[in-house]
């Protein structure tokens, strides 16, 4: 990782939490000693975004787990980037594998959401990754490069507001062809990041940070946040 770029750790709470459980996580983070050279983000369910943003120390970012591709309209159940900003949320996770594979979001839709969010001034963590059967069929590069192309933009000024979360199966391949420093994108690694292996992973030259799921709901998340210290 370039020395002038901060390490980045995102915690995706997914569809977990309650007001009581969220308060416990907020307290844990508030009292934690976090490496000052690391940026930390949490992504609670949409219903809890305003309360988490209000209660959580401002040194932490708060992200949504999804947003739509247009500012407003007849799109029941969706939220726009402008709405996220209105409640103090300046980040969003887009293209997560669970939304691609369970909710059937296409590469095109993920790309449209990503570019609209950035145009609206919301920072994006864009998730890239193949399904198990695609990996076993030797299609990892084909699938991941196709997904990368869908979120690409010619507007270089937008690169600073976009992180890319890559599976470990593809991270090395992408980094060998496109240095994160040259592309302007930070490369996060996702999948199987734990307190036990996070420091080893953080030392990899093509890792700018992590995007973790279930581990962000446990005390181990603090260890992961300090992996690059």
The CATH number of residue 39's host domain is 3.20.20.70
**Considering the domain boundaries, does residue 92 fall inside one?**
yes
List of long-range contacts for 95-100, beta carbons under 8 Å, 24+ apart? 95/126, 95/127, 95/128, 95/147, 95/151, 96/12, 96/65, 96/66, 96/127, 97/127, 97/129, 97/131, 98/14, 99/66, 100/127
Question: Nearest to residue 216, comparing CAs of 1, 24, 49?
Answer: 24
Q: Which residues of the chain have pLDDT under 50?
A: 1, 180-182
What string of H, E and C letters represents the secondary structure of 171-206?
A: HHHHHHHCCHHHHCCEEEEECCCCCCCHHHHHCCCC
Pair of tokens at residue 194? 């734990």
Count of domains observed in the chain: 1
Coil/strand/helix, residue 135:
helix
Considering the domain boundaries, does residue 133 fall inside one?
yes
Residue 104 pLDDT = 96
Q: Is residue 1 part of a domain?
A: no
Q: Is residue 212 part of a domain?
A: yes
Q: Give φ, ψ of 165 to 5 degrees.
A: -95, 120
Per-residue pLDDT, 182: 46
Whether 2 maps to a domain, the answer reads: no
pLDDT computed for residue 36 by the predictor: 96
CA–CA dist 213, 10 (Å, integer): 8
Give residue-wise pLDDT tens across range 181-226: 445 578 898 878 999 999 999 998 888 999 999 999 999 999 999 9
Assess if residue 206 is contained within a domain.
yes
Give the list of residues 6+ apart from residue 32 with CB closer than 8 angstroms, or none: 222, 225
Res 153: pLDDT: 67
Q: Residue 118 is part of which domain span?
A: 7-225
């Amino acid at each position: 990782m370039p020395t002038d770029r901060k390490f980045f750790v995102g915690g995706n709470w997914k569809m977990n939490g309650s007001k009581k459980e969220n308060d416990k996580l907020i307290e844990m983070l508030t009292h934690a000693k976090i490496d000052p050279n690391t940026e930390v983000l949490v992504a609670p369910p949409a219903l809890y975004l305003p309360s988490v943003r209000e209660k959580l120390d401002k040194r932490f970012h708060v992200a949504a787990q999804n947003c739509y591709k247009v500012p407003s309209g007849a799109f029941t159940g969706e939220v726009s980037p402008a709405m996220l900003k209105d409640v103090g949320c300046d980040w969003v996770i887009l293209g997560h594998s669970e939304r691609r594979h369970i909710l059937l979001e296409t590469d095109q839709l993920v790309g449209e959401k990503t570019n609209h969010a950035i145009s609206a001034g919301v920072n994006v963590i864009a998730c890239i990754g193949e399904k198990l059967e695609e990996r076993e069929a030797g299609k990892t590069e084909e699938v991941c490069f196709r997904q990368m192309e869908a979120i690409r933009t010619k507007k270089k000024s937008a690169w600073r507001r976009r992180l890319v979360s890559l599976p470990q199966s593809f991270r090395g391949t992408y980094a060998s062809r496109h240095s994160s420093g040259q592309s302007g994108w930070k490369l996060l690694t996702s999948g199987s990041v734990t307190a036990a292996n996070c420091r080893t992973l953080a030392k990899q030259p093509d890792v700018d940070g992590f995007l973790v799921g279930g581990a962000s709901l446990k005390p181990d998340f603090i260890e992961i946040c300090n992996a690059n210290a």
